[in-house]
Amino acid sequence: MSLMKSFRYFLPATNLVFGKGMLEGIGAEVKKFGKKALLVTGRKSMKKLGFLSRSIDSFEKEGVEVIHYGEVMPNPTVDTVNKGAKGAIDNNCDVVVGLGGGSAIDTAKNIAVVAGHFQGEKISIWEFAGVHDKPRRVTSKTLPVIAAASTSGTGSHVSRFAVVTNEEKKQKIGIMSPFICPRLSIVDVDILSCMPLSLTSKTGFDALTHAMECFVSKRSNPITVLYCLNAMEVIFEYLPQAYNRGDDVEARKAMAVADTFGGWALVTSRPVLPHALSHPVSAFYPEIDHGVALAALTPEIMRFNIERGDEQTVNKYCHVARMGGEEINSFNRKEALKSVKVVKRLLKKIKLDVTLKSLGVEERSFEGIVESAFATMRVPIEANPVPVTREDILNLCSRK
């Protein structure tokens, strides 16, 4: 592996509190950043499982006033962010806390942007989206964000990305700024152990794709590579275990560490084609979750990249296969294809072996998906180790 090209590396900016029962201390941590918090969650799970009330108790114990905004749904929208931001502005909140999966944490980050930049005018998170010629800049006015992760997949608890969907335009985009990196993240294994089977598999596969994609990415660097190799090895080994035995604390911890490494890989490299296409797939079909779209797209894109990739890319896919437990005898295209095999094997084990067709993605939406990808996901398209045209992508979508 050639590691000698020039690169820029910025230390990941999030502090971590990691372990069993750590949510208990959320009030004391948030108190360091403000007196009045907007607590952002999804609609049901955190309430039902008791983590919402535990958090509120912890805030109250520390004298932090808390306003709960519990309306986030998977694939959160511009309206959901703007409505939450209004709550933060009207209540003069000085810190935003995301308790939940990537959707709640991303929404907390985006609310922090809107509320922090509000100066009495009408304001929307969409002004900050990189689809415009001159998007509004995210600055240090952004309110501080604290996260408590309830899934192991997106890496959002340590990343400088926050995804939002514009339903009208059918565009799903990541706002990117160092100012939205959570100042502190709590990773409490008790919350992660509550994930049901399908959530474990789709979020775990998301984490694996962060590691695999940032590894083969044109934007990878020697430091990213370390995160990626470690995350891949751990996920191939522990994801089936976490899936089969949800209360296996060791497996949950392992997946949480791999998720964190995947997030740091995203921060220091860039994902490639599966992510570039999974966003528009979910924008067109909001019922298809991020990790599920990735499961449908990843194997064929890997095969495509191996068929057309240069020597370094082929070598990297051989390393992916190795991380998945395959023996690699020499570094060539045939051996590299073992990486597709290990990924497919994993997808079977975690009952996620789906295709675009089996998910109900219709051929007539392929062109729209490709256009949306070029409008919103140029960086991942350009970071793909093999250059791709619109036609290549259309062909890829049609592969079975």
Q: Please give the residue ranges that form the binding site for ligand NDP (CB under 6 A).
A: 41-46, 74-75, 100-104, 106, 150-151, 153-156, 159, 161-163, 191, 194-196, 199, 203, 206, 266, 290-291
Cβ nearer to Mn ion, comparing 88 with 239? 239
Residues 157-216 close enough to bind Mn ion by CB under 5 A:
206
- Nearest approach in angstroms of CB 110 to ligand NDP is 10
Residue 102 binds which of Mn ion, ligand NDP, none (CB < 5-8 A, kind-dependent): ligand NDP
Residue 155 binds which of Mn ion, ligand NDP, none (CB < 5-8 A, kind-dependent): ligand NDP
- Nearest approach in angstroms of CB 311 to ligand NDP is 30
- Nearest approach in angstroms of CB 78 to Mn ion is 19
CA 255 to chain centre: 14
Three-state DSSP at 289 gives coil
Direct distance between the N- and C-terminal alpha carbons of the chain, in angstroms, rounded to an integer? 32
Residue 84 binds which of Mn ion, ligand NDP, none (CB < 5-8 A, kind-dependent): none
Cβ nearer to ligand NDP, comparing 63 with 196? 196
DSSP string of 191-224? HHTT--HHHHHHHHHHHHHHHHHHHHSTT--HHH
CA dist., res. 208 & res. 198, Å (int): 15
Structure tokens of 118? Answer: 């509000």
Cβ nearer to ligand NDP, comparing 75 with 315? 75
Cβ nearer to Mn ion, comparing 172 with 338? 172
E-strand stretches of the chain: 15-19, 36-42, 65-72, 95-100, 145-149, 161-166, 171-176, 184-188
Residue 101 binds which of Mn ion, ligand NDP, none (CB < 5-8 A, kind-dependent): ligand NDP
Structure tokens of 354? Answer: 């789906």
- Nearest approach in angstroms of CB 275 to Mn ion is 6
- Nearest approach in angstroms of CB 364 to Mn ion is 26
Cβ nearer to ligand NDP, comparing 81 with 229? 81
CA dist., res. 308 & res. 111, Å (int): 42
Structure tokens of 345? Answer: 């094997």
- Nearest approach in angstroms of CB 44 to ligand NDP is 4
Cβ nearer to ligand NDP, comparing 196 with 360? 196
Say which residues have a Cβ less than 8 Å from residue 311's Cβ, sequence separation at least 6.
331
Cβ nearer to ligand NDP, comparing 104 with 321? 104
CA dist., res. 25 & res. 256, Å (int): 19
Residue 12 binds which of ligand NDP, Mn ion, none (CB < 5-8 A, kind-dependent): none
**Residue 106 lies near Mn ion (rule: CB under 5 A):** no
Give which of 65, 72, 78 is closest to 38, Cα–Cα. Answer: 65
- Nearest approach in angstroms of CB 276 to Mn ion is 11
CA dist., res. 60 & res. 69, Å (int): 16
Q: What is the dihedral of CA 398, 262, 50, 181, to 10 degrees?
A: -110
Residue 103 binds which of ligand NDP, Mn ion, none (CB < 5-8 A, kind-dependent): ligand NDP
Question: Footprint of Mn ion on this chain (CB under 5 A)?
Answer: 206
